[in-house]
Amino acid sequence: MGNLLFILNAAPYGSEHSYNGLRLAGALAKREENKVRVFLMGDAAAAAHRNQKVPAGYYNVEVMIGNVVRHGGLVGVCGTCMDARGIASEALADGCRRGTLEELADWTDLSDKVLVF
């Protein structure tokens, strides 16, 4: 349907905001006509951390991000938010990259729809 931007702000665990945003992003990324971009800001930056270990039966946002990436989606992580949380670029999950506010501004301009979680 178009260019879709998801801006996630909430911590990856504890609330279901980022979880639900990633669920929807993954579902829309599977549709070939969509170009999905996800930008992680604030506490959502922790969602991009590599090698997450969660209890059996619990969702894993690293896996969910991988689903978006496998279907051609792009995932940016706010660099300022990474620095504030001590997250190095080397610690990012596969397919995630350090992003900037300027990149988010560009992605916003390119998007037909922006969804904020």
How do beta strands 96-99 and 113-116 pair?
Answer: unpaired
Cα distance between residue 84 and residue 81, in whole Å: 5
Output Rg (C-alpha) for the chain, integer angstroms.
13
Per-10-residue mean pLDDT of the chain, 117 residues long, equals 95 96 98 97 98 94 97 98 97 97 98 98
How do beta strands 113-116 and 3-8 pair?
Answer: parallel
Tokens encoding 42: 């604030």
pLDDT of residue 1: 75
Strands (E), 1-112: 3-8, 35-40, 74-78, 96-99
Fold of 3-116: Hypothetical Protein Ychn; Chain: A, (3.40.1260)
User: Could you state, in order of their start, the residue ranges of all structural domains in the chain?
Assistant: 3-116
pLDDT of residue 93: 97
pLDDT of residue 115: 98
pLDDT of residue 89: 97
